[in-house]
Chains A and B, each alone.
Chain A
Amino acid sequence: MNDLITVVDWSRWQFALTAIYHWLFVPLTLGLSVIVAVMESIYLKTSDSKWLSTTKFWMTLLAINFAIGVATGIILEFEFGTNWSNYSWFVGDIFGAPLAIEGILAFFMEATFGAVMFFGWNKVSPRFHLLSTWLTAIGASISALWILVANSWMQYPVGMEFDPAQMRNVMDDFWALFSGVAINKFFHAVLSGWALSGVFVIGVACFFLFRKSNRDFALRSIKVGGWIGLAGLLLCMFTGDGSAVEVTRTQPMKLAAMEGLYEGSEGQSLVTLGLINPDKKWDNNEDPYLFEISLPKGLSILARHDMNAYVPGISDIINGVDVIDGDTINTVSYEDRIRRGRIAQSALREYGMALREGNVEATHAAQQTLAENYQFFGYGYFNSPAEAIPPVALTFYSFRVMVMLGSYFLLFYVVVLFLAYKAPKWLTDKKWLQIVAMISVPLMYICSEAGWIVAEVGRQPWTVQDLLPVGAAISDIPSSSVMITFWMFAILFTVLLCAEVGIMIKWVLKATHSDIDNQSNK
């Protein structure tokens, strides 16, 4: 049992490590591929070779980033099997399909047209090259669509039924996978990639201006990156709002953790800044915050678009107060969920025995009991309600980091774009402004990772919401094996990240010593 807990923890760490590294590279691929496609389109329309040089410069950075994104991605897909084999069986019938479709429809598109984009200059016609660049960008987004549909399904499992004979869930409605949760998540994640890439382009371009190099190239890049990034950020905020509403509806515990809220109320305030009290538990009377600055009625507006709406906290949800379809109701407490989860599991055992004995009547009775309690199946693995609470502090702080940095970047984009058009001398001459732009690049990565931490830590301890906790999703492997592979990946990914950053820095430094606009484009 102890090794089981350790395996679960190491498997979680390994998956988190891989996902965090993967998400360092993916958003830049998603956004920068669109930015280079726009630049190349302008080149083809204007026949101005400066746009070709600009496209090629950013495409090289895209290629460097693309490779490592692909490398970390393969591990993620196979880790579902290697580390979460029970999960792969229990819901593979539903979860596997989007992954297979992703491979067939998206990966080949990216790989095939990516080869043309990176290696096809002078080998194919300019129009076909441009088409390939766009298809690579579209392929990357289609790839994101399928994996995000799969991820959303884990957080809001729909379109399936439980097959007791096989002891697994099976799909019964493919289109249900494209739920509001999935659509919001897809646009939120992909557009955050645009926002990140815009900041990346502006930051790197400001480095050129800081070194007083390639002024026109830098301003041109800032304008394209700025517009695409701003569009991405605005739409990201819009879909973020949609996501908050969906989380309130489908994962109220995650929302409560995001807020560090234990006892909710009507017209619930939003903590804009605060310190979580580590001694606070769901069943004690400690104050949840050591200090807080709140916006009155803010959470009710955010979560339900109604300033007087009730929003439940962690203790409320555990005690059985919840919001379903906009109504505050007394629902099943977590003690009851655990009890009914165990009833569901017992019924499943009885079903299996009755099936083996050929006892049709007992089979039907067990099946009925199972169906009545199946929605709480996963709770049967818990011993106490506390086990069903996600890590509150990490979720709370990550959410604030994401929102605050997101708000800063809105201001950043507006200012940079205004200056690029109306007062470019500020951008070209003010060192402090250039430094702010450069520092904004790592801040944007922190913002982006914080968003995923909210999404993934906030849904713990579930791999599949309400049905399968992480402890029942793992593989039969010793914790020592997972510990070794964790450190192998940690070292390998860190070395490769350092190599990537090193190559990018050298490439940019080298470019600052050249005249990009007048480079040979043969």
Chain B
Amino acid sequence: MTLDLLQNYWWVIVSVLGGILVFLLFVQGGQSMLLNVPDSSWTQMIVQAIGRKWELTFTTLVTFGGAAFAAFPLFYSTSFGGAYWLWMLILISFVVQAVSYEYRCKPGNLLGSRIYDIFLFFNGLVGCVLLGVAVAMFFFGGEFTVSRGAMLDSNAPVVSVWASTHGFEAIFCWKNLLLGGAVFFLARVLAALYLMNAVNAGEKFYQWMKKKLWWSTGLFLVFFLAFLAVLLTSDGYTVLSSNSVVTEVELTPFKYWHNLISSPSILILLLLGVANVLLGILRTLFTKVYTQGIWFAGIGTFFTVVALFWMAGFCDTPFLPSVTDPASSLTIRNASSSQFTLQTMTYVSILIPFVVAYIWYVWKQIDAKKITKPESEH
């Protein structure tokens, strides 16, 4: 296996993990609905339904981070060490989420149920928006420079140097927030579709969810279409590398539009993805009772995210452009691990289908019976 092939393969793996992660953000979408549920038994059933899945989302995020570290360590080093506050806020939102499901209704939980519900809401809102912001940086870039020689500077031995705002500039960049908003409302769309499927609590609950779906779909479309419009009309860099060193950087007008039309696989994935998301939503909205929308929308989400990752990483495009110093931009060529490491991990990745298979089997077992009333968990 050549190094180029391995780099492509691992970008595909990272994209797949990204796609699965965004699909699983239905958990966060559900959490963002918890503060204004009209019936407390509904709250309990929503928590039961998404509470059985939160660890999968969490684990996918951790694995996404691990895969990014192992396959593209310069990205891990530059983005995490640079956009410090962006990542710290994401992490804190996931820390408070991890305990909230288990602690929220237990006596002696110190803070009271309401605070844990607020934690869940915080993760639902902040986690989704900021993950969207982090992915948007794949297109709109960050303010950083990379100088490997700095390793030898005893006064400041740091390879990657970021803007002094350390991630706040990314959080308050309107272009990034367009994708942040899109991810947040998509998570709510997916949550509504999932809860319609997993919870059977009567007509009132279904109609309440449908109303949520209408609003979330409308806002998702506004944010997503705006993001897509900005993205496809944006300039971007074309970066050529040799032996993991950047040799040529060129500013290309309408870079991502060119990536899309020059790669039929990306175009087809994106169209398939968007069509499936819309199909899942529209069938649910315009059929009297339809509970299978989550599967269409889920698959569509997966395809769309994978297509976006491929637009960012393939076609000689830097997946973390530097707006400060274009030559510092990170590509899958100059940010990757060595051939030996990528090859070793590739052997391990053969087990991924087996992992997916047992997750799917367990998911079906646990969700075989619909939730019809609040249950005691232990």
Q: What 0/1 pattern do residues 108 to 124 of A give for CB contact below 8 A with B?
A: 11111111101110011
Docked CA distance A197–B367 (Å) = 32
Identify the 8 closest CB pairs spanning chains A and B, nearest first: A85-B81, A92-B73, A81-B80, A506-B108, A103-B63, A96-B70, A475-B81, A71-B98
Contact A471 to B338, CB < 8 A, known contacts A70-B55, A100-B67, A485-B88: no
Interface stretch among B33-41, B248-256, B351-359?
B351-359
Select one of B74, B111, B149, B157 contacting A472, CB under 8 A: B157
Docked CA distance A506–B162 (Å) = 47
Interface residue A60 (Cβ < 8 Å from any Cβ of B): yes
Question: A81-B76, A507-B107 provided; 6 other pairs, C-beta below 8 A?
Answer: A80-B80, A81-B77, A92-B77, A107-B63, A167-B159, A475-B160
Select one of B71, B81, B107, B148 contacting A82, CB under 8 A: B81
**Which A121-156 residues have a C-beta within 8 angstroms of B?**
123-124, 128, 132
Chain A residues with CB under 8 A of B349: 104
Chain A residues with CB under 8 A of B243: 165
Contact A115 to B52, CB < 8 A, known contacts A74-B94, A75-B91, A78-B80: yes
Interface residues on B, range: 35 or more
Can you sample 24 A-B contacts with CB below 8 Å? A63-B378, A64-B103, A64-B106, A82-B80, A82-B84, A92-B74, A92-B337, A96-B69, A100-B69, A101-B66, A105-B351, A111-B56, A111-B58, A112-B359, A115-B362, A119-B377, A123-B366, A128-B365, A132-B362, A474-B157, A476-B158, A476-B160, A481-B84, A481-B166
Residue in chain B with minimal CB distance to A172: B340
A96, B102: Cβ atoms closer than 8 Å: no
Q: What 0/1 pattern do residues 91 to 102 of B give for CB contact below 8 A with A?
A: 110111111011
B95, A71: Cβ atoms closer than 8 Å: yes
Docked CA distance A115–B363 (Å) = 9
Smallest beta-carbon distance A389→chain B, Å: 19
Chain B residues with CB under 8 A of A171: 338, 340-341, 344
Select one of B63, B79, B98, B362 contacting A81, CB under 8 A: B79
Q: What 0/1 pattern do residues 38 to 70 of B give for CB contact below 8 A with A?
A: 000000000000011101101101110111011
A492, B337: Cβ atoms closer than 8 Å: no
Select one of A99, A101, A506 contacting B107, CB under 8 A: A506
Q: Which A residues lie at the B interface, using CB under 8 A? A: 1, 4, 56, 59-60, 63-64, 66-68, 70-75, 77-78, 80-86, 88-90, 92-97, 99-105, 107-116, 118-120, 123-124, 128, 132, 163, 165-168, 170-172, 174, 345, 348-349, 352, 381, 471-472, 474-478, 481, 485, 488, 492, 495-496, 498-500, 502-507, 510
Select one of B71, B151, B157 contacting A96, CB under 8 A: B71
Chain B residues with CB under 8 A of A97: 70, 337, 341, 344-345
Docked CA distance A507–B96 (Å) = 21
Chain B residues with CB under 8 A of A174: 340, 344
